[in-house]
Structure 1
Amino acid sequence: MTAPLRVLSLYEGFFAGGARVLHTDVVAGLHAGGQSHRVLSVAARARRESTVQVMWDDPRCRRLVEAGVEVRSLGRTAGDAPLGPETFGPRHLRRAAAMIAQADIVVSLKEQPLGLLLALRDRGMMPDVPVAVCLHRSDPAHAGSARDWLDEAARTGLVSAAIACAASTRDAYREVLGGGVEGGVEAQVVANGIDTERFRPGTARERAAIRRSLEIPADAPVVLFAARFDAMKNPGLFLRAVAAHARRRPESHYLMCGAGMSSANPALRAAFAEAGVPASARVHLLGIRDDMPALHRIADIVALTSAFGEASPLCLIEGAASGATPVTTSVGDAARVVEGFGIVTAHDAASIAGAWDVVLAERPAFRRLALAARPRLSRERMIEQYRGAIEALATRLPLAA
């Protein structure tokens, strides 16, 4: 009997974000399907978006543990900048090398953990194990120093393969990876998928209960903005759209959830003032939530106003699978993702607010389109494509050695 393939995933840390949601879904699915997965997180806590997020409290971490995946940490603290090779001491490197040596393949969630692998290589401690990197941005320039680490890792053969979550990601990283050049790394595209059993239309009783908990009337329009407080997500543009929309649709409610989406964040308070959001606007600041499926079920619209960096945003398909209509700016593969059931707007508050009006005026028709798209949003296809990519790497490299 063949032993299961041993895969070690490297996380920069566990904190709120779509890439961690998606990768955790992949790891749990592959582990349940016969591969043997473990996770090493560089950081045990993260200071981001005016919050301190502890690894063991994170729902992604808890889900992996519940799925039987071993999760360990080097105990570092993640911040706005990734941890560079020079920051790792002998103790960290010995622990990491020991876990890597027990794996057949290492999979890095984004390019940030490559700082650890470069430190191991530079000090002669990197085991001879192939490395794949999973990429989730459409603008490598905004990855900071981690972009340079990926460039070096690809040029020197430390990284053997890449998996991009969107065509825009593959195209944006082609130069960094040296794709098409001898010795370069080509990125395979595996489009995002979601658990459509979790993200589904709610029953009348479910929707009524979550609306009551948030003090939202049963017939009030709901716009959901699920994003961390970050320039990439452009919360200021969302708030300007709220200001325009709330003046003519004062019965609407706007939910803002994610890291930093709290009244305790002074930058968010300043953004409200700058956008001119009227005091009468019904904006709910919910912070980090563990009940995102429930919030999507009561939403009429899931809004994305990102300025850059997005590849294949999960919130758009999570909302659609629940019956909400995505209204998004044109970033990454967003237009391709929502084709047939969503609306793409300019990066302009009036255009966004106008699109919200269109959706609310034709709500039943837009809801039918979103729910009809559910079969193509499922994660099963995604997990099988990840399985194929990882197993192909495992069989290809020994033959080339």
Structure 2
Amino acid sequence: MTTGIKALVLIDAFRMGGAETLLAPMISASRDTDVTMDVVSISPAEWNSEKTMAILAEAGISTRSLGIRRLLDPVALPRLVRTIRAGRYDIVHAHLEMAMTLAVPAGLLVRRPVVCTFHHVAHPLTGRAAKRERLAVEAATRSRRALFVSEASRRSFAETYRPHRMPDNWEVMHNGIDITNFSPGPASPQVHSDLAASNAGPVVVLPAAFRDFKGIPIAIRAWPQVLARHPDAVLALTGGGELEDDLRRLVAELGLENSVIFVGVRTDMPEVYRAADVVLLPSTYGENLPTVLIEASATECAIAASRIGGIPDIVPDGETGLLFEAGSTEGLADAVCRLLDDAELRRTLGTAAGERARQEFSATAWVQRLRTTYLEAIGSRQ
């Protein structure tokens, strides 16, 4: 009978990024289990993001920073070893490169198992960045488990670093998020009005930062094809960013000002998803496990998205949404129109998406998978 698991969650620094912001739902969900997680960053406290620290503090999560500035710092390994021993941890879970590279040898020295998680899709690197990533991969491959948050991530690392044979301890484990507020429900008339402006037709929501890899220009260029079949449809661009002026110019050039609406950044995304007839994500590269698709799935939205990166992990084509080839305006328009044509298809896919989100992508499900992995790693040590 287990008496509980004490885990040291180790991260490079509390910066503002995907891995860092996932700590709050993971640790909050662990409180309902026998897993205790302490969060420590490798780097100095002054490297931390104020916004990330505020998110963690709001969730009641205390943190520590070890003050290590570089891998070759002579105090790095001894300081981490002392931290593991003093905390009497059963296991170390390292996130990101520097944490992995130090955690694996430290774990060997104190005879504690280490689990590592990669949070991105590998892409060609040069110079020091390439060396740092290769070191992290070598370290993680010597840990009990090297976890990748999508199949696309695992495959990309295998192609880059292990092209002939994928190591046996490389596994896919999807991250989870807090989906408590993302549940289906009636649409707010006010939110629907915000998204649709003066239009009365169906609303397609594109929730994304205005960055080049999100493929927003492809959606805009495809929109005339959607309008040919659904003249009153609206594309609601929900977000903001550096490319907004370029996107507005493209909308004006195509004469789409009345049907492509710039909604701005919203803080009420559950209500936005409930008001959407379709949620669209036309990313062209760089996506690993986009949170907006998990949120939309949990809200039981009908989804159309590009077949890129880890998106198929969230949206199995034809099961919880429709996928199209990245960069294809024809494919995007066809997927969106198929969903707008068929209310029953939207309902069926949305219901399946909600069930998949709860079972596979909730923070609760994630922590239960981690607990099983921790027990296996601890058991193999014993």
TM-score (ref. length: structure 2): 0.76
1:55 to 49, 56, 69: 49
Q: Deviations over 1:17-62 (max 9, x none)?
A: 4x5555543332123312111223448799xxxxxxx83434xx55
Q: Distance in 1 between matches of 2:378 and 2:163?
A: 20
Among candidates 245, 264, 267, match of residue 269 of structure 1: 245
Cα–Cα, structure 1 residues 235 and 128, in superposed 2: closer, same or farther, change >3 Å? farther
Partner of 2:262: 284
**CA drift at 1:352:** 0.8
Q: Is the 8 A contact 1:327 1:342 kept in 2?
A: yes
Instruction: Say which of 182, 186, 211 aligns to 1:203.
Output: 186
- Equivalent of 2:120 in 127, 131, 137: 137
Deviation at 1:327? Answer: 0.7
**Aligned residue in 2 for 1:173:** 157
- The Cα shift of 1:319 comes to 1.2
Greater shift, 207-216 or 144-153, is seen at 207-216
Report whether the alignment pairs 1:320 with 2:297. Answer: yes
Displacement after TM superposition at 1:314 (Å): 3.4
1:342 corresponds to 2:321: yes
Residues 305 and 323 of structure 2 are in contact (CA less than 8 Å); yes or no, is this contact kept in structure 1?
A: yes
Cα 1:97–1:286, aligned 2, differ >3 Å: closer, same or farther? farther
**Alpha-carbon separation, structure 2, partners of 1:121 and 1:383:** 22
CA separation of 1:203/1:130 partners in 2, compared to 1, >3 Å: closer, same or farther? same
The partner residue of 1:354 within 325, 334, 345 is 334
Correspondences of 1:146-225 after superposition (within 5 Å): 146-154=132-140, 157=142, 159-174=143-158, 184=167, 186-204=169-187, 207-212=188-193, 216=197, 219-225=200-206
Return the offset for 1:75: 8.4
Residue identity matched to 1:69? I
- CA apart distance, 1:178: 5.2
- Which has the larger strand fraction? 1
Q: Structure 1 residues 344 and 43, CA, compared in 2 at 3 Å: closer, same or farther?
A: farther
Percentage of pairs with the same residue: 21
Alpha-carbon contact 1:201-1:297 (below 8 Å) kept: yes
Q: Would the alpha carbon gap of residues 95 and 62 (structure 1) be closer, same or farther in structure 2, given more than 3 Å must change?
A: farther
May I ask how many residue pairs the two structures share in their alignment?
Answer: 365
Shift in alpha-carbon separation, 1:212–1:165, aligned structure 2, 3 A: same
Give unmatched runs, 5+ long, in structure 2: none
CA gap 1:393/1:75 in 2 versus in 1, 3 angstroms: same
Deviation, 1:162, is 1.2
Counterpart residue identity of residue 135, structure 1: F
Match of 1:254 in 2: 236
- Retained in 2: the 8 A contact 1:167–1:333? yes
Q: 1:328 to 1:279 in 2, by over 3 A?
A: closer
**Structure 2 residue corresponding to 1:226, chosen from 193, 198, 207:** 207
For 1:313, give the aligned amino acid: P
Q: What is the TM-score with the length of structure 1 in the denominator?
A: 0.73
CA drift at 1:370: 0.9
Moved more, 188-197 or 363-372: 188-197
Q: Which amino acid aligns with 1:6?
A: A
- Partner AA of 1:283 in structure 2: I
In structure 2, C-alpha distance between the alignment counterparts of 1:323 and 1:219, rounded to whole Å: 22
Deviations along 1:346-386, one digit per CA (max 9) or x if unpaired, are: 22123212322221222343123312442232124333112
RMSD of the TM alignment (CA)?
4.1
Q: How far 1:63 moved relative to its partner?
A: 5.2
